[in-house]
Amino acid sequence: MEDIAETLRVLGPYERFFTASHTLNLYNNVGLTAHYTLTPALLTKPRIFSALKALINLHPPLGVTILGENTREPRFARLKSIDLEEIVQTILLPGEDTTAELDTVLSEQHSRGFELGRLPGWRCLIFRDHEDEARDAAAGVGGGNGGVWISLIYHHAIADGVSGLALHKSLLVALSQPHKNPTFAGRYVVHPQQKPYPSSLESLIPLPLSLPYIVSQVWSKVYFPPPSPPTLYTGNPVPASPNPSNTKTIYKSLHFSARALKTLLSVSRRENTTITSLLTAIIAIAIFQAVPSKFDQLTSSTPINLRRYVPTERIQEVVIGSYAASLSSEYTRCAPSPSNLFAIAREHTAQINDRLDAGTADLNVGMLRWVSDFFTFFKEKLGKLREDSFAVSNVGVWDGGEDGGVDRVVFSQSGEVVGPAMEWCVVGVRGGGLVLGCTGCEGIVDAHVLERIIEGVRRGVEGIE
């Protein structure tokens, strides 16, 4: 406890959901990685560390750790100090295939958690081109002509995917204005400022549950869960005994041009749908084409950002945090034609709009307050079939203006050992293209099937017109 400056608050049910999964090594973290194109002088190690210090001072969740993660009532606690040398790592890229190298490193990062209690629930990776690093070291500068990738990997209890985009926007501002950043007097040690910690989802947003909803959930989830249809594809069952080999994250990304992103936006408007729904339809069709024909059903989960329901006067409080629910959807096998593709996308969009119109009543996250022990909650899922085939999480499009400072962003996360067979992570940069990341745990989806799905999604996106 000598590293703890102040104990803050007990975690809410949604936050405890992620601490329990982290403790059990069932889900470790989320990541946002951005390619910074600032001048080399602004991307030296001292500049980046000063910008990270400014980031910690601005966003309280970066200055905390979690105590009692393996108990029923874990708490956030502010650290007295954070040695950036312990949580920041510089990685040299070979310069041959940056995409593959990033995928490999991110897979490894999402396969391991955090040393909570002593360190904060996040870490930072700085990727430099090997040749640029050697040249810049000799010249006394940093960054290289090709820019620098910076990755923020963090515990889902302190921040969600949308938060990662906000963190990088704050980091870009700090890097662009070095004269306003705090400096160091020796070692790269930060003493987090005493600022109020953001409220939990449940204490900030009302999550009322109707009696019919409660009864249906308890009936179908607890007492009489219906058997999974044999024609529903959800990958291989949850491992009965999770271990490092069957919980290892496999992450692969697809990078599309600015023109492809522009086309997706244009076609989505034309077909009265959204990019999220259009990509969901593309992924569903690609899975159907890749799995055996005996599987004619799929289910998906779509995260819903709940910040829209936060009172206006408190919206700044929830810039960084975990504030989301999810929508479940079902699909049946159909011919992979453009008309069917757009029909699936429009139906998915209608479901999302209906869910948003219903407000915060009867959301699945509202049921979490009835879970008394999340460790038992997760352990009861081991060895059983999964509920969802896939999930699609879209954190949006980065709009950096004319000069930008960031031209590419990658969204990634841990594979969910007890969750969907695969999770698709979507993020774009206006003028800089779109990145789709596919994440899952090794062995959930057979390797040759996964390759066919990923290639099918690539063809599906490139074929939109």
List the one residue out of 105, 97, 149 whose CA is nearest residue 250. 105
Are 393 and 424 a contacting pair, CB within 8 Å? Answer: yes
What torsion do the CA atoms of 60, 66, 71, 72 make, to the nearest 10 degrees?
A: 10
Q: 206-463, what's its fold? A: Chloramphenicol Acetyltransferase (3.30.559)
Residues contacting 282, CB < 8 A, separation 6+: 341, 457, 460, 461, 464
> For residue 181, which amino acid is it?
N
Name the CATH superfamily for 5-190. Answer: Chloramphenicol acetyltransferase-like domain (3.30.559.10)
Q: Given the DSSP bridges, would you call strands 390-398 and 297-305 parallel, antiparallel or unpaired?
A: parallel
Low-confidence residues in the chain, pLDDT < 50:
133-144
pLDDT score at 132: 54
Do 5-190 and 206-463 share a fold? yes
Backbone phi and psi for residue 455, each to the nearest 5 degrees, phi listed first: -65, -35
What DSSP state is assigned to residue 359? T
Count of residues in the chain: 465
- Residue 155: strand, helix, or coil: coil
The tokens describing 269, both together, are 């408007």
A 10 A CB-CB count for 275 gives 21
pLDDT score at 332: 96
CA distance 145 to 136: 10
Task: Give 218-267 pLDDT, tens digit per residue.
Answer: 877 766 677 889 999 999 999 999 998 899 999 999 999 999 999 999 99
Ordered alpha helix ranges (H), 59-200: 84-87, 98-109, 130-139, 161-176
pLDDT score at 239: 96
Are 264 and 354 a contacting pair, CB within 8 Å? Answer: no
The tokens describing 34, both together, are 């951005």
Looking up tokens 């453009």, which residue turns up? 338
Looking up tokens 């990755």, which residue turns up? 151
> For residue 113, which amino acid is it?
G
Are 121 and 114 a contacting pair, CB within 8 Å? Answer: yes
Going from N- to C-terminal start, the domains of the chain cover: 5-190, 206-463
Task: Give 120-153 pLDDT, tens digit per residue.
Answer: 999 999 998 755 544 444 444 444 456 899 999 9
pLDDT score at 138: 43
Phi/psi region, residue 144 (left: phi>0; alpha: psi -120 to 50; beta: rest), is: left
Q: How would DSSP label each residue in 258-301?
A: HHHHHHHHHHHHHTT--HHHHHHHHHHHHHHHHS-TT--EEEEE
Bridge partners (DSSP) of residue 148 are: 36
List the one residue out of 443, 416, 26, 102 whose CA is nearest residue 245. 443
CA distance 129 to 409: 17
